[in-house]
A = this chain, B = another copy of it.
Amino acid sequence: MDYVNGPGRNHLFVPGPVNIPDQVIRAMNRNNEDYRSPAIPAMTKTLLEDVKKIFKTTSGTPFLFPTTGTGAWESALTNTLSPGDRIVSFLIGQFSLLWIDQQQRLNFNVDVVESDWGQGANLEVLASKLAADTNHTIKAICIVHNETATGVTNNLATVRKILDHYNHPALFLVDGVSSICALDFRMDEWGVDVALTGSQKALSLPTGMGIVCASPKALEASKTAKSVRVFFDWKDYLKFYKLGTYWPYTPSIQLLYGLRAALDLIFEEGLENVIARHSRLAQATRLAVEAWGLKNCTQKEEWFSDTVTAVVVPPYIESSEIVRRAWKRYNLSLGLGLNKVAGKVFRIGHLGNLNEVTIFFSSLN
């Protein structure tokens, strides 16, 4: 039984999970294997090496958790911080809100810097907080690179500059869920300490792999971090990395082969070309939105996202009605507006292995 909607292909334009390339679907079309045979560690070794490239890091240590982005968040926080630690965190949309909720439930002392939804993180406030924090009570800065709910991209290079300006030792933790592999992201250059993404976003895989990458400084912090963790503990992975068997518990064989195929596609196209393609298709999307006479939810060009566009609908229309109709009539999947922008925006995902985002625009007219 298929829970499908009418004849023809489903046109998937939510900002994740995104379309999976046929090559990846084929690579994952397989039986299980013994993950303790010599084959799986051999493959895992190359995956761990190659996955670093999408983070643009040479010094980082990646972990491939059988989890989602939410789990990857938890892994990033609990391995580096202790209960009560002060965090500066930016609230600019639904996904940063959810991360902050997690930070609070994990018992950190979260210093929330809120912006209007549609704006980027207020980095001036960050600067003043760091300036004031001469005792270094701030242990980490948590920021979402690209807020998927509003289509806002934060400037991480500036975050690093501010940290350096105040010579502040806070850890720099980045949610790269809807950015890594699609937007320009530079872990080493920007001094990011933990970066993370999910398989179902720009990597164009099924959901189920949370990829976390830790800097040497983050690994060091994990040795003393007192947050309780077992499933998400880096220590167990590091132990099995040393043994050369790599997995403290069972990985998804299919996702490993899928990741191999996904990375091969990205490297074949060239990571910089992939990023440039996202930029080109995003611009085309924004021009189309303009041509429809609609407004971008993102308030300034500097925050425009090249992976998702949140489109503001006129006040007399319910945006969820547009999403419902697109699905029902055209088998076209768009993203809903969430929380504060529910009913007011719908979202177009333009990330992953796409060629012509523009192709679906006419169907809305």
Using a CB–CB distance below 8 Å, which chain A residues touch chain B? 1-12, 14, 16-23, 25-40, 42-43, 66-71, 73-74, 83, 102, 105-107, 198, 200, 206-208, 227-233, 248-255, 257, 260, 265, 269, 274, 277, 327, 330-333, 335-336, 353-356, 358-363
Smallest CB–CB gap between A125 and chain B, Å? 26
Contacts of A274 in B (CB 8 A): 7
Smallest CB–CB gap between A80 and chain B, Å? 15
How many monomers of this chain does the complex have? 4
Smallest CB–CB gap between A89 and chain B, Å? 15
A22 and B9 within 8 A (CB): yes
Tell me, in angstroms, the Cα distance from A69 to B249 when the chains sit together.
8
B359 and A363 within 8 A (CB): yes
B354 and A330 within 8 A (CB): no
Contacts of A32 in B (CB 8 A): 12, 17-20, 200, 206-207
Tell me, in angstroms, the Cα distance from A355 to B333 when the chains sit together.
14
A68 and B249 within 8 A (CB): yes
Smallest CB–CB gap between A19 and chain B, Å? 6
A74 and B23 within 8 A (CB): no
Tell me, in angstroms, the Cα distance from A274 to B7 when the chains sit together.
9
Smallest CB–CB gap between A154 and chain B, Å? 21
Question: Knowing A23-B2, A336-B36 touch, does A7 contact B200 (C-beta < 8 A)?
Answer: no
Closest to A42 in B: B3
- A sample of 16 inter-chain contacts (CB < 8 A) reads A3-B40, A7-B353, A9-B21, A9-B22, A12-B33, A17-B32, A28-B28, A32-B206, A36-B336, A66-B67, A66-B208, A68-B231, A70-B248, A70-B249, A206-B254, A359-B359
The A interface is mostly helix, strand or loop, or mixed, namely: loop
Tell me, in angstroms, the Cα distance from A113 to B59 when the chains sit together.
44
Question: Knowing A327-B37, A363-B358 touch, does A4 contact B23 (C-beta < 8 A)?
Answer: yes
Tell me, in angstroms, the Cα distance from A39 to B333 when the chains sit together.
11
Contacts of A5 in B (CB 8 A): 37, 39
Smallest CB–CB gap between A204 and chain B, Å? 8
Question: Knowing A3-B43, A32-B200, A206-B32 touch, does A359 contact B11 (C-beta < 8 A)?
Answer: yes
Tell me, in angstroms, the Cα distance from A20 to B354 when the chains sit together.
19
Contacts of A362 in B (CB 8 A): 358-359, 361-362
B74 and A105 within 8 A (CB): no
B249 and A7 within 8 A (CB): no
Question: Which of A29, A277, A354 is most buried by chain B, counting CB atoms within 10 A of its CB?
Answer: A29
B26 and A30 within 8 A (CB): yes
Tell me, in angstroms, the Cα distance from A8 to B359 when the chains sit together.
12
A8 and B230 within 8 A (CB): no
Closest to A14 in B: B34
Tell me, in angstroms, the Cα distance from A2 to B43 when the chains sit together.
9
Question: Knowing A249-B70, A277-B7 touch, does A31 contact B43 (C-beta < 8 A)?
Answer: no
Closest 6 CB pairs of A and B: A8-B355, A17-B32, A3-B39, A34-B333, A70-B249, A207-B252
Question: 14 more A-B contacts (CB under 8 A) besides A37-B333, A106-B228, A207-B252?
Answer: A4-B23, A6-B355, A7-B274, A8-B355, A9-B354, A22-B31, A36-B335, A66-B66, A66-B71, A71-B231, A73-B231, A207-B250, A208-B255, A331-B355
